[in-house]
Structure formats: structure tokens, C-alpha cells
Structure 1
Amino acid sequence: MKKLILASLAASLVLSLAACQDKNAAQPVVSTAPAIEAPVTPAAMIPAVTMDQAIPSDAFKLTMAQSGTPTLVEGGKAVQIELTISNAGTMAISSTGVHPVNIGVQVLPEAGATGEAAAVRDFLHLPFDTIAAGAAGRASINIPAETALAGRTLHVVFVQEGIQWFDGPTYSSLNLGPFDLCGEVFCDLGAATANTAQ
């Protein structure tokens, strides 16, 4: 009889242990270690490029070239010119800040005319997107059909506002024209060819 009771107790103990093991196995393992997340830099934290100081002449390495042919827009009231701008310098260049760099468009004197008065130095000043060091970008400039352009050629250069025009044989420039106007619209772009100087 004692053997029977001992056998029953042993069997109950084995069954109880097995139930405890099954219960522990069913419970998920929870880690208390903190999760590691990849760092994220919000766009607002990326510093903007502003031009607040004069760029040394020998450090300015922007070049421009015409992309494709000029096209008439706004029913001929303007001509659109696509440019490729490359930055071979060591600093980003932008059209923001106290002294931004813009695309400056001048109207050259008529054939045979002499002196500064015959030219229109500040015809247009046009901004462009920031060009990082060693990178290139595109810009579109729209030239309005103004009577001052009739038979004239445009001279396109870079200008740092309030500092200097980057003009001359060591800088990139673009000559376009001469342009023919028919009233208030451009009538022919056949002569609006580009001549790029590096």
C-alpha cells in the first residue's frame, strides 16, 4: 500500500514539473536592453549656403555654357535660354545672402557706338540654385522682348552683388544675339547664337 502511495506521489510530482516547464516555455522572452535607432538629420538642420563675404577673384571657378538652342516663350514676348553651370571651386556658390552671386545680363552697345552710355550694364540680375563645390547645375533665364534689345547683343556673366562682376578673359561669359524684334515680340532667333568664353 505504501508503495502504491509513493508511486502515486511520484507520478503527481512528475506531472506537476512537466506542467511548469510547459508554462515557462510558452512565455515570450522580453529584452530589457534599449533599442538602438539610426541617427536622422532633419532637412531643417542642414545649413543653408549664404554669400555674405566677397569671394576672392582667384577662388571663383563658376563656368556657364548654353544647353540647346534658345526658344521663344510667352508667344514671343520672351526668349528662354537654358544654361549649364559648373563649379570647379572649393566652395559652394549661391544666390542668397548679403552678397549673393547672380547671373548678370548686360546689353552691349550697338555696332559703331562707343562708351559706357551705349551699353545697358544692369539689364537683368537673375538668381540660380546653389551649386556645390565640384558639382554642376542648370538654370533657365528668360529675356523679355524690350525695344532696347533690337539689333543688340547680350553679354551674360556672373556678378556678386555689391562686390564685383566676374567679367574678362579669365572668367566664363556668354554672348547671345543680335536679336531682331517685330514690335513687342522677338521675330527671329536665327541670329541668337551663343559664344562662350572660358
Structure 2
Amino acid sequence: MARRGDVLHEHILDVAKQVFLELGYERTSMDVVAARAATSKRSLYAHFPTKEALFGACIERLHTLFEGRLSVPSQYADEPLEAVVRYCARFRQLLAYAPIVRISRMGITEADRLPEASRALYASYVGVALGALAAHLAERCTVPADDAPVLAERLVGATVFGFWSRALFGLEALRDDMPDAAALAEDVDLEAVRAVVGVELGRGSLT
């Protein structure tokens, strides 16, 4: 039975994501996506009028999926500071997933040609994490609302960005399976993250 409507739309996105990851943005063509999705080019263009629109839709889906997997700090612990620790650790854990690294590299490569897509990719991963963490700091950790975004970036910078930059340059071992939050303590040194969070939250002034 042929796929139609929303089912076809989602199927095309699933296929397109894999094609972009495999071939990169430049080498991906609508012909290849249509063939891999076993649909006509006419149907493909009816859903996504351009390759850029298709790439953008893939990013939107990645945003939704990542937001769901990362969730919010309060989901990780009842104690507000421990929630910060585990949230930062979970963010670090998820960034070891090879497809996330590959699509992020693609966003960097295409930043000059597709700046909106690159900004959307950044927002899908880093922006999601920083926004949720800043909200938690303001609501649960009595950090002034104006200071919370600065502290969130400082915390993520100290606990995640070192690994993230090494991963982007191929200096970290990545994984092809989606990291399981239940294995957080096995995958990330939580004591090291606690030490950093303790220092950053004990500084007082954010200037």
C-alpha cells in the first residue's frame, strides 16, 4: 500500500535524514531522496519544494527529538543542584551520539551558504540545553533571571563544550546507538561534573 499524506511526509523525513548523514548536504539530491523513499519526485516536491526546505524540515524534527530526549533538569533529580549535575551530564552523554556529531559538522560546513539552517541546528542542540538549564536555575536554584542564561552557558561550557569540540574534530570515540539515560553514571564522570557545578554555583558574581 502506497504511503500518503502525513505518513509519506514522515517517511520522507526519515529517509532524507539518513541520506544527508550519508552523503552530506552538497551531494544529496532530491532524485536520490525520492528513489530511497520509493516515491515520485512529484510527491517529494509536493511536500518539500526545495532541498533546502527538506533539510530545514529535518532539522525541525531533530530539534523535537533532541528536546524530548534531553528533557528538563527537574526530570533527573528532585534536588535542584543534583538536577543541574545530571542534566549537564546527560547533555554531554547525548553529544557522543555519532549522528548528532555528523549533522552538526554539516551545519558548520554549510554555515556560509545556509546560515539559517546552521543557526537552527545550533538551536536544536545547544539552544535547547541552555534554555532549559537557564529556566531551571532561575526557577529552582534562586539565580536571578537576568543572570541565569550567563550561568547556564558557563556551566555547559565547563562540563560539555570541551568534549563537544573534541568530538567535532574527531578526537573522541562516538557511538552509533542512542545513549541511554539509565547508563548516565557509566558514561559520564558525575563526580567531575559535580565539582564543576559546585565551583560555578559558588562563585556568586557572574561578571
What's the TM-score, normalizing by structure 1?
0.25
Higher strand share: 1
> Structure with the greater relative contact order (CA < 8 A, sep ≥ 6): 1 or 2?
2
Tell me which structure has the larger Cα radius of gyration: 1
Bigger proportion of residues as helix = 2
